Structures are given as structure tokens and as C-alpha cells.
Copies of this chain bind each other. A is one copy, B any other.
Amino acid sequence: MSEPFLLGVLGGMGPLATLDFQRQLLEATPAQSDQQQLPSVVWNVPQIADRQKALAGTGPSPLPQLIHGIRVLNQAGASHIAIPCNTAHHWYEALSEASAAPILHIVDATLAALEQEANTPQRVGIIATKGTLDAGWYQQKLAAQGIEVVEPTPEELTQWFVPGCYAVKRGALKEGGELLAQQALALFARGAQKLILACTEVPVALQAVDAPFLHLTFDPAQALAERCSQLWQAN
């Protein structure tokens, strides 16, 4: 392809997670000057229907707005597209059909990174929205690698995950971090050796409370950023 490399980022879900992803893109790229950093165009428009509510059947679908963002990124010249939001991957097929540029899948990037770990864990916990858990992408691909999956219970999601997530979204990072840390500890208590933080709000919040188990967590957005950076460097 002679088309120049330009990463389109379909962000805004939420706006803070989009910034965190951009920081991960910078950190993943060894650069001695501005010019060596990965070029990107970022659609960071958070006025988008709530993904969790849409999948619970209590709100409108975000698909038309997601497709609009994908079209803007294509028009801007994106050669590849990344979506730093696990739940939005529910609409991955429809978005791929609407996009000339290929969309990198966050689950594929995560599993590829997990495969490269020195000691592959036997049991992995997943912190994610009900939408991501119901979709089953992580569970199926982990099972295919012989890895047992530990999931939050519906009660845990209601008590810790959902309020933790919405706390982050209103900027209360510490409050969110403390709730999400409870969720994480419950998964460790049920035998998880590592955790996949499969919702882009979670790593930001756990860092804000300096959670002591961060070295046992795996951030899909970071895996996606590293995959994007590899493509840019090989360009």
C-alpha cells in the first residue's frame, strides 16, 4: 500500500480513557523527535448513547453515532482504526463493514500479548461490562488456549463494577478506584492469578488508588496501543 500510515481512533467512550490510550500510543513508540511519533486523528466525541444501557435494552443504540465517527476517520485519511473501548466491540462487524480502513480488534491484540507472557496463567479473571461478558469474546479465546476464566457475579457487577465505572466517568477517580479494587480482590479470592481489565475505565481508576496488585493485571487498551505502534514502526 502506498497510502500513508494514519491511525484513526474512535474514542469518547469515555473521553478520559481516550486520553489514556493516546498516552499509551506515545509510550509504546520509541521516538527521538516529534516526527517519529505515531500520527493519529482522534474522534473524541462523548455525546454517544450509553453502551451499557443499550446492551441492557434500557437505552438507544450507539451504532449510528459510531458509524458516523468511523466515516469521519475514513474521510480524514485513516489507514487503520482502533477503538479503545471493549464494550463498543459489540458492534465490531457492523463498523468493519462501514469502514474502508481495517479496524484492529482489541481482543485479538490482548490475546496475542497474553500469549507472549513468560508464564501463561492457568486462571484469568475478567473485569468488564455485562455487555462485554455476555459477548463472550475473551472467555472463548481464553478457553481455546486452555485458560480457565473467572468472571464477576451479577451481584458484584451491581455492587462494585457499575458504580465504580460511573464514578470514573464523572471524574471521581479515587472513589471509582476503591470500588473497582473490591471487584478485583473478589476475583483474586476465587483463584484468578491475573486479571484482564477489559473496560478502559478500570486501569485509570486502579492507578489512581495505586492498587497493590497492578502488576498482576493486563490492560487490553495497552495491548491495542502496542499493536498500533508495531504497525507504525514497521511502516
Asked if A87 lies at the interface with its beta carbon under 8 angstroms from chain B, I say no
Stretch at the interface among A28-36, A102-110, A186-194: A28-36
Q: Verify B31–A12 contact, CB threshold 8 A.
A: no
Asked if A13 lies at the interface with its beta carbon under 8 angstroms from chain B, I say yes
Q: Verify B170–A45 contact, CB threshold 8 A.
A: no
Contact code string A12-47 (vs B, CB < 8 Å = 1, else 0): 111110010011001000011111111111111111
Residues of chain B contacted by A32 (CB below 8 angstroms) = 170
A13, A22, A31 pick with most chain B CB within 10 angstroms: A22
Asked if A64 lies at the interface with its beta carbon under 8 angstroms from chain B, I say no
Could you give 19 example pairs across A and B, Cβ below 8 Å? A15-B34, A15-B37, A15-B38, A19-B22, A19-B23, A22-B44, A26-B171, A32-B170, A33-B170, A35-B47, A35-B48, A36-B46, A39-B46, A40-B44, A40-B45, A41-B41, A41-B42, A43-B76, A75-B75
A interface, CB within 8 angstroms of B? 6, 12-16, 19, 22-23, 26, 31-48, 72, 75-77, 166, 169-171
